[in-house]
Chains A and B, each alone.
Chain A
Amino acid sequence: MSAGPGLESLVDQTISVITNDGRNIVGVLKGFDQATNIILDESHERVYSTKEGVQQLVLGLYIIRGDNISVVGELDEDLDSNLDLSKLRAHPLKPVIH
């Protein structure tokens, strides 16, 4: 990420989004607005569990409403491609409590 606040610098990059319901969605940021509504292209959800490796669900083109977004982060694609998700175990995130 470079130069200043905001998501402008992440456009056309792969990002990882944590939603209020505890999902982790990874995709290419195509656009956003003042309300942090986000366009994610070629997105997939990563489902974490302690019993088996990370499952990836293909989602495609998504518009996520800003209300439902907790965290947006840049994804290091080199680092990510070296991960063996099938061996990764983790507790699923709990939803945000308002």
Chain B
Amino acid sequence: MLPLSLLKTAQGHPMLVELKNGETYNGHLVNCDTWMNIHLREVICTSKDGDRFWRMPECYIRGNTIKYLRVPDEVIDKVQEETKSRTDRKPPGVGRGRGRGRDDGPGGRAKGIGRGLEEGGPKGQGGGRGRGGPGGKPGGIRGISFFTFIIFYLSNSP
């Protein structure tokens, strides 16, 4: 799974973004692009020391200033659903038969010399790459409200 697909899936969800300069931005993701530039709504910006706060209706953050993003746990399950439904839509047979095929290991046939009738020659091997994996994961951290942060910040703001 690609980090940017996860980010795309997080659209509409609340998230926390920390910039390289230490400021954090809490808000709902409106949109993002392949450079990780992000557009947030209903934002609370917190200074590096965490002692000053600014509320803003929206903001746009250049991707390369980001240190990390914290996204709600449930978003990762949604990505898996999406990739699954995408592969389900594929007609059977697509994704096979590409690639170089495989030599038959040491002592394999010398290709193209002598014999006239080789059947097929090297064939494509391996059918597509598996996705999807174990179903549920062991509970744990999941389920802690993402809003606790925002509420904490709000209750502390002047």
Binding site for B on A (CB under 8 A): 12, 19, 21, 30-33, 37-39, 41-42, 44, 58-65, 67-68
Contacts and interface: CB of A to CB of B under 8 A. Distances in A.
Interface in B66-94: 66-73, 75-76
Given A37-B36, A60-B73, A61-B76, A31 B68 contact: no
A65 B70 contact: no
B136 interface: no
A62 B142 CA distance: 13
Interface of B: 1-7, 20, 36, 63-64, 66-73, 75-76, 133, 137, 140-142, 144
B102 to A, nearest CB: 16
11 contacts: A21-B67, A39-B1, A39-B76, A42-B141, A61-B75, A63-B3, A65-B36, A65-B63, A65-B67, A65-B68, A67-B64
Given A39-B76, A67-B20, A68-B20, A61 B3 contact: no
Nearest to B146: A60
Contact of B69 (A19, A30, A41, A63): A63
Dominant secondary structure of chain A at its interface with chain B: strand
User: What 5 A-B pairs are tightest by C-beta distance, nearest first?
Assistant: A31-B1, A37-B3, A63-B69, A64-B68, A68-B67
A17 to B, nearest CB: 10
